[in-house]
Amino acid sequence: MKKVTLTLILAYAALSGLVAQQPPADGPRFTNGTSLLRPTNYREWPFIGSSLGLAYTQVSDARQAAPPFANVFVNPSSYRAFMQTGKWPDGTILILEVRRSSSDGALIKGGRYQTPEILVLEAQVKDSRLPDGWAFFSWGPGRALKDVADPAPSTATGNGEATCVECHTKHAAVERTFVQYYPTLLEVARQKGTLNPGF
Amino acid sequence: MKKVTLTLILAYAALSGLVAQQPPADGPRFTNGTSLLRPTNYREWPFIGSSLGLAYTQVSDARQAAPPFANVFVNPSSYRAFMQTGKWPDGTILILEVRRSSSDGALIKGGRYQTPEILVLEAQVKDSRLPDGWAFFSWGPGRALKDVADPAPSTATGNGEATCVECHTKHAAVERTFVQYYPTLLEVARQKGTLNPGF
């Protein structure tokens, strides 16, 4: 009888969304409440897009020599949720991995490929505890990656540069994410009608 | 007693590699023996590299307008095997997804991103049934992707172009694969000493 009762409770919790509202097991892991641990297995997460010469600020030195590639990955359960709904669940973590590019020895002249040198590693997290609902983190340059990153400031620091939140609020295609650069996700967002106004 | 015997047999089989030699469950699926079915879930497989302007032949029209991106994915069990050994197990399938690039509306001038338009979709498969051990397949242009692809010819067809096998034999960093363009795999191959002579 106890077993039947527990089964009914779990079934009700699942149907009413109580279970789904738990943070995902593959989502962001914090220490001290808001400092984000660097995931070590993100290269096994779904890849959602790559660009060349589109990464910003922190890689300006490297860009003078060669435009960097930027690969973006997302935790698997949030990827599956987006593909079904066109929206990000709470606890979504996107990883931005910026790599030096090279054309040395390329089999086609002018072609560029990704090198083992990571220039910078960053994350964007959907976190309902925050006023904006999103936070941005950087584990720093690839030659000295930190294990833990504090959230980037959400308001301007006075150096004239726009903050992550400001730029993502102004230009992102879905919520605060640059889905305009993630081709398979862009098609889902169009189908589901979840593009921000202006897209 | 029967249960113990079966357990011992399975343990012996696992230790001696008999189980490991089975084709992987996430590997290539053939019809008529050698025609390769197009996997529909490869975007959830591990991503191993992206290049710009390095994809060949079939995309020459598109390249005149904009250099294409080429994303490469590999079936999960073969990815895990490579990360441990620096070699590809039989039944490995790599997917080459070539996409049109664009700089329209890019937030950084000159930056290029991937669009929803697939130009061509191809595969490379390690198959111990073949003399060379590797075969190449194309499901054709993205606007008319086939569900099934026959292996590409392994000897020259007379039009002066090198075949897939010829070029991969001459230029690949590990076995027949262009690991020189897959940064995380390149580091593993260096550590494991599995680079082809010349790399």
Q: What is the CATH number of the domain that holds B72?
A: 3.50.70.20
A18 Cα to chain B: minimum distance (Å): 27
Q: Are A69 and A61 a contacting pair, CB within 8 Å?
A: no
For residue B31, what are the contacts with CB-CB under 8 A and spacing of at least 6? B37, B148
Using DSSP bridges, classify how beta strands B30-31 and A148-149 pair: parallel, antiparallel or unpaired: unpaired
- Residue with token string 């111990």: B128
Please give the pLDDT value at position B16. 45
Per-residue model confidence as pLDDT tens digits over A152-199: 987 766 666 678 888 899 999 999 999 999 999 999 999 999 999 988
Q: For residue A131, give the amino acid letter.
A: P
Per-residue model confidence as pLDDT tens digits over A8-50: 544 444 444 444 456 789 999 999 999 999 999 999 999 999 9
Please give the pLDDT value at position A89. 97
Interchain pair A113, B180: CB under 8 A: yes
Residue A135 lies in a domain: yes
Of B44, B73, B181, the CB nearest to A114: B181
B112 Cα to chain A: minimum distance (Å): 5
B109 burial (CB, 10 Å; 0-12 / 13-18 / 19+) is: exposed
Residue B10 lies in a domain: no
Instruction: For residues B108 and A67, give the distance between their C-alpha atoms in angstroms, rounded to a whole number.
Output: 11
The CA-CA-CA angle for residues B155, B157, B163, to 5°, reads 50
Percentage, residues of chain A above pLDDT 70: 81
How much is the ipTM here? Answer: 0.86
Residue B130 lies in a domain: yes
Residue A87 lies in a domain: yes
A183 Cα to chain B: minimum distance (Å): 4
Please give the pLDDT value at position B3. 52
Please give the pLDDT value at position A64. 54
Interchain pair B50, A50: CB under 8 A: yes
The structural domain count of chain B equals 1
Instruction: For residues A31 and A35, give the distance between their C-alpha atoms in angstroms, rounded to a whole number.
Output: 5
Residue B104 lies in a domain: yes
Select the residue from A41, A42, A43, A50 to test the B interface by mutation, using most B Cβ atoms within 10 A: A50
Per-residue model confidence as pLDDT tens digits over B127-178: 999 888 999 999 999 999 999 999 998 776 666 667 888 889 999 999 999 9
pTM for the structure as a whole: 0.86
Domain range for B162 is 25-192
Task: Tell me the chain A residues in contact with residue B116 when contact means C-beta distances shorter than 8 Å.
Answer: 183-184, 186-187
Residue A128 lies in a domain: yes
Quick one: tokens of B158? 């007379």
Please give the pLDDT value at position B15. 47
Torsion of CA A159, A160, A163, A169, to 10 degrees: 170
Interchain pair B112, A54: CB under 8 A: yes
For residue B70, what are the contacts with CB-CB under 8 A and spacing of at least 6? B50, B51, B52, B54, B55, B96, B97, B98, B99
